[in-house]
Chains A and B, each alone.
Chain A
Amino acid sequence: MTASKPEWQLRLYVAGTTARSVAALENLKRVCETHLAGRYSIEVIDLLVNPRLAAGDQILAVPTLVRKVPEPIRKIIGDLSDEERVLVGLDVRPVG
């Protein structure tokens, strides 16, 4: 990983713009802004548009959040409504 890339690279897999995927993205953004402000990037992949990409990260459930960097890869499935579990899942030390 080059230094120019952000410290946290996250990828969110969704299937179309369902209420659940919208909620998941909103929840993720909120968590990141709170705890990882300026140090993250989020890539949203819609599997309905790119079904091929599901195999790469072994995605079964949607929504699935994948922490690509820092390694190791971690996956969190669900709408990310439980902030505490998201932080545990991403292994992020909460700020404040």
Chain B
Amino acid sequence: MPPRRFETRSSMATRRRTPRTSATTDALPKAATGIAGLDELTEGGLPRGRPTLLTGGAGCGKTMLAAEFLVHGAVRYGEPGVFLSFEETAEELTQNMRSLGFDLDELQRRRLLALDFVRVERSEIQETGEYDLEALFIRLGHAIDAVKARRVVLDTVEALFAGVPNHAILRAELRRLFRWLKVRGVTAIVTGERGEATLTRYGLEEYVADCVIVLDHRILDQVSTRRLRVVKYRGSAHGTNEYPFLIGSRGISVLPITSLRLDHAASSERVSTGIEGLDRMLGGAGVYRGSSVLVSGSPGTGKSTLAVSFVDAACSRGEKSLMFSYEESESQLLRNMASIGFDLGRWVRKGLLRIESTRPTLHGLEQHLVHMYDLVRDFSPAVVAVDPISNLTEHGEDAGLKPTLMRLIDFLKMSQTTALFTSLTTDAATVLASSEVGVSSLMDSWLLLSNLAYNGERTRTLQVIKSRGMPHSNQVREFVLSAKGIDLVEVYMDGDRVLTGVARVAREAQMAAANELLGRDHARRRRDLANRRQALDAQIAAMNMEAEERAGDVEFRIARERLEAERPHHAAKTGATATTGAEGATGAEGSDPAPRRRRKA
């Protein structure tokens, strides 16, 4: 894709609000179709006052697109229209358009629309001599005058080739018709059936040369995708690629819808993922509002559950959520999620949650995305979950995934919608990294769920691979699903290993046992210590006693010696000391010979 187209398209985003007064109208006035995407692609709409040729195979949406052009013209832009149908009766057309929510009867009553069915029956018609198709002009002119029409659809004038035998006359008249339409100044869509080698079977492109749009209905891998291409647009720039389009319940939408400029406002508000442990891993507050989260993992790792938790959290906050489920039907999803404690049914009943379950094979990738656009615009949810996005890619060219997904993410960011995409991968981490790298770069946060099979047991783990603009845990957490929902268990760090599952439980038990043993050992050692202390205390008491004994003895002797030293004076005066002297003889005989000698002397 050339970058130039991006510029023109991004400038369209601002212009879209006022499609009829765009910068390009200086060069060429345009009439907005009101069809989502087509006005961007043609930079404002179809050439005003000129016929546009709309061609394509059977059943590719020509009539629908043309009718929508008229309805939007009448309702939104105040331009009444005339639908001249050569194939469907007015009743059939009214009925068909009612299925898209367009009430043609009502528009006819309000004189905003005139339906005329031109039946061409070859078997009834004989020709003799010269004629012209003035009656057709008169009919058309009359219808235009009746509603003051500014828009005209001729669907399909090629039917005239079957009804009018003389093609030379018919061609001349068609040429006159298109000139006449220009003179009347009406913006016209002329539809034509695609031919083998030409744009239309009867070469209408020869007469309508201002703008040619080709619709295509292609089958690729058994999945049909409608595509639209502006082949020619005289005097105006236009997107030349093929753009997928969808006939949804609200009419036609053509991608592109948003610009590819990165100018969305970034919110700093955080929203919870619904799992406390995961919020903690993501800086403690969850993801940013309006960011995109990719959850990838192998089968059975809990991707859907995570998505549901995300949605459930949003509904609990009172926000609207939209969930695209490509694997489970709504009731199946409700039942399965109820088994792990998510009561989604109440949100559905409250109108907060919408679950869109379709088979991925229903449409091609682009059509799925267009369908998503429609729903998101319709429901305007705060949170969108797509489960899983990898299913969409199975049936399309992978190369188309990134740009289309980018458009979707861009669109969601513009509307501040937080999005979660799950993606199914194989278990091998290396394969994962290479296969998802294209998509993952678009995402703000990337969570990886994986299965750890170890020691006869499988454990779900979760890790945050990236999360822009917030601190996030780099640890692997164990992801536990129970009847109460999801729980993230702190992993058990054992040395340089991270233990999960039974290994974690066993290790925890082991540690508990070891702790107990250690406790007992401590108690024993304490007891031992106490015993020793007691023994020592006893010893200390005994030694104290001995010391006291000795101290007593010493004191006694000192006292006696003092007594003995004083005896010579006392003995002469009193006889009371005799007892002392007797004692002294028994207690300390021979220790103090000098006084004794003095006494004998």
Inter-chain CA distance A75–B123, complex, in Å, is 9
Inter-chain CA distance A61–B120, complex, in Å, is 11
Taking a contact as CB atoms under 8 Å apart, the answer to whether B131 and A79 are in contact is yes
A22 → chain B closest CB, angstroms:
13
Taking a contact as CB atoms under 8 Å apart, the answer to whether A77 and B131 are in contact is yes
Looking at B105-113, B137-145, B425-433, B537-545, the stretch in contact with chain A turns out to be B137-145
| Residues on A with beta carbons closer than 8 Å to the beta carbon of B129 | 24, 27, 78-82
Taking a contact as CB atoms under 8 Å apart, the answer to whether A51 and B142 are in contact is yes
Taking a contact as CB atoms under 8 Å apart, the answer to whether B126 and A74 are in contact is yes
Taking a contact as CB atoms under 8 Å apart, the answer to whether A61 and B131 are in contact is yes
Q: Which of A27, A62, A81 has the most CB of B within 10 A?
A: A62
Q: Which of B120, B126, B142, B163 has the most CB of A within 10 A?
A: B126
Inter-chain CA distance A39–B136, complex, in Å, is 31
| Residues on B with beta carbons closer than 8 Å to the beta carbon of A48 | 138
| Residues on B with beta carbons closer than 8 Å to the beta carbon of A51 | 138-139, 141-142
Contact of A54 among B121, B132, B142 (CB under 8 A): B142
Known: A51-B141, A58-B118, A58-B119. A15 touches B128 (CB 8 A): no
Q: Which of B116, B119, B128 has the most CB of A within 10 A?
A: B128
| Residues on B with beta carbons closer than 8 Å to the beta carbon of A52 | 142
| Residues on A with beta carbons closer than 8 Å to the beta carbon of B447 | none
Inter-chain CA distance A51–B145, complex, in Å, is 11
Query: Beta-carbon contacts of B133-153 to A below 8 Å, as 1s and 0s?
Result: 111101101100000000000
| Residues on B with beta carbons closer than 8 Å to the beta carbon of A58 | 118-121
Inter-chain CA distance A79–B357, complex, in Å, is 63
Taking a contact as CB atoms under 8 Å apart, the answer to whether A64 and B126 are in contact is no
Known: A60-B118, A60-B160, A60-B164. A54 touches B135 (CB 8 A): yes
A42 at the interface (CB under 8 A from B): no
B130 at the interface (CB under 8 A from A): yes
A8 at the interface (CB under 8 A from B): no
| CB contact list, A52-68 vs B, under 8 A | 52, 54-55, 58-64
| Residues on A with beta carbons closer than 8 Å to the beta carbon of B141 | 51
Which residue of B has the minimal Cβ distance to A24?
B129
Inter-chain CA distance A2–B192, complex, in Å, is 45
Taking a contact as CB atoms under 8 Å apart, the answer to whether A62 and B124 are in contact is no
| Residues on B with beta carbons closer than 8 Å to the beta carbon of A13 | 135
A6 → chain B closest CB, angstroms:
21
Taking a contact as CB atoms under 8 Å apart, the answer to whether A63 and B131 are in contact is yes
B92 at the interface (CB under 8 A from A): no
B183 at the interface (CB under 8 A from A): no
Known: A51-B141, A52-B142, A55-B116. A61 touches B133 (CB 8 A): yes
Contact of A77 among B116, B126, B138 (CB under 8 A): B126
Contact of B132 among A55, A62, A82, A88 (CB under 8 A): A62
Taking a contact as CB atoms under 8 Å apart, the answer to whether A82 and B138 are in contact is no
Inter-chain CA distance A48–B132, complex, in Å, is 14
Which residue of B has the minimal Cβ distance to A47?
B138
Taking a contact as CB atoms under 8 Å apart, the answer to whether B126 and A60 are in contact is no
Contact of A78 among B116, B121, B130 (CB under 8 A): B130
Taking a contact as CB atoms under 8 Å apart, the answer to whether A62 and B119 are in contact is no
Known: A51-B142, A54-B142. A60 touches B128 (CB 8 A): no
Taking a contact as CB atoms under 8 Å apart, the answer to whether B128 and A79 are in contact is yes
A11 at the interface (CB under 8 A from B): no
| Residues on A with beta carbons closer than 8 Å to the beta carbon of B131 | 20, 61-64, 77-79
Taking a contact as CB atoms under 8 Å apart, the answer to whether A81 and B128 are in contact is yes
Taking a contact as CB atoms under 8 Å apart, the answer to whether A59 and B128 are in contact is no
Which residue of B has the minimal Cβ distance to A16?
B134
B589 at the interface (CB under 8 A from A): no
Contact of B128 among A47, A54, A72, A85 (CB under 8 A): A85
| Residues on A with beta carbons closer than 8 Å to the beta carbon of B135 | 13, 15, 47, 54, 59-62, 64
| Residues on B with beta carbons closer than 8 Å to the beta carbon of A69 | none
B125 at the interface (CB under 8 A from A): yes
A76 at the interface (CB under 8 A from B): yes
Known: A51-B139, A61-B133. A78 touches B128 (CB 8 A): yes
Query: Beta-carbon contacts of A11-31 to B below 8 Å, as 1s and 0s?
Result: 001010000100010010000
Q: Which of B124, B134, B139 has the most CB of A within 10 A?
A: B134
12 A-B interface contacts by CB (under 8 A): A20-B131, A51-B139, A54-B138, A58-B120, A61-B132, A72-B124, A75-B124, A77-B126, A77-B127, A78-B131, A80-B128, A89-B126
Chain B residues near A (Cβ < 8 Å): 116, 118-121, 124-136, 138-139, 141-142, 160, 163-164
With A54-B138, A79-B129 given, can you name 6 additional A-B contacts, CB distance below 8 Å?
A47-B138, A55-B139, A60-B163, A76-B128, A78-B131, A79-B131
